[in-house]
Amino acid sequence: MMPLSMQSLSCWSMLYGNRLDTNARNCLMNAVARPTGPDRWFTPLLVFDLLAALAMVGVMWTALLYAGDAVNLDGEEQVAQRIFYFHIGSNIAALLGFLGSVIGSVGFLFSRRLVWDRWAAASVEVGTIFGILVLLSGSIWAKPAWNTYWTWDPRLTTATITVLIYIAYMLFRNGFDDPATRARFASVYALFAFLSVPLTYYSARLFRSIHPIVFDGVNEEAQGGFGVGPTMGQTLTIAMIGFALLFLAILFHRVRQLAFEARIEALRENYDE
């Protein structure tokens, strides 16, 4: 079986002028539809998927069974405290996604290669999903801790704005048909959008907030905060690693999907011509 690019080229050589004969049409459709040989990325991605799955099993076990209880919490707050590991893990995954969009955008602006734009777009899509999980898990934790699912706390407000900014990024991309134009404008958007990420992180330090500070500091006005013991710290580390691996596994598959979509779209445009 010839590679797709060579086979499709042989198909186009069968065309004469603007007239598409049946043989050329069938040849081109077969070039797109039929497999082109072994996928060299299948095994590495499968191994990585299994690694991510095992890591998430480890996260579930340590978060629900291994980590100790918080000494200053009881009742529903003690149970809800275990959401903390999934909340922080989702935070790490969302951060990786938004940071990945910056790397991909800078890569495109310097190289003008669309592969970088695909990495940026996929990073935002996956990162936004985890950003939504951050908001949902935070709301579940807030009910027993704050007696409400939602409050206009600076941390919650800025986190929500950040997620909305990246949802708008995905909608913004759909407004352009030309891939190069779409990538150029989306790259600039992504660079400015990332400014909301550090603002969200420092919001609990810059403004009066009842949101607990987990890393690098203490918020005396925080409600529902707790000390992190040895087993809790170990579980938190495992959760961050596990969610990072899960993010990367999903990201790799999404980038490959976007690459396949781009190839099919290019063939479709040539076919229409």
pLDDT of residue 68: 76
- Are 49 and 166 within one domain? yes
- Are 105 and 233 within one domain? yes
- Are 173 and 93 within one domain? yes
State which residues form the domain around 3: 1-37
- Are 61 and 21 within one domain? no
pLDDT tens-place string over residues 224-272: 555 666 788 899 999 999 999 999 999 999 999 999 988 888 888 777 6
- Are 183 and 55 within one domain? yes
pLDDT tens-place string over residues 103-121: 999 999 999 999 999 999 9
pLDDT tens-place string over residues 159-214: 999 999 999 999 999 999 899 999 999 999 999 999 999 999 998 888 877 777 76
- Mean pLDDT score across all residues of the chain: 83
- Are 178 and 225 within one domain? yes
- Are 18 and 107 within one domain? no
Q: How far apart, in Å, are the Cα atoms of 35 and each of 32, 62, 260?
A: 8, 42, 13
The larger pLDDT score, comparing residue 12 to residue 207, is at 207
Helix (H, G, I), strand (E, B) or coil at 16: strand
pTM here?
A: 0.81
Q: How far is CA 64 from its chain centroid?
A: 25
Helix (H, G, I), strand (E, B) or coil at 19: strand
- Are 110 and 229 within one domain? yes
pLDDT of residue 73: 60
> What is the full DSSP assignment across 23-48?
HHHHHHHHHHHS--S--TTHHHHHHH
> What is the full DSSP assignment across 91-104?
HHHHHHHHHHHHHH
Strand ranges in the chain using DSSP code E only, listed in sequence order: none
- Are 64 and 193 within one domain? yes
- Are 189 and 167 within one domain? yes
pLDDT of residue 52: 97
Rounded distance, CA 184 to CA 220, Å?
Answer: 44
Mean pLDDT of 9-23: 45
- Are 167 and 188 within one domain? yes
- Are 100 and 229 within one domain? yes
pLDDT of residue 177: 87
Count how many domains the chain has.
2
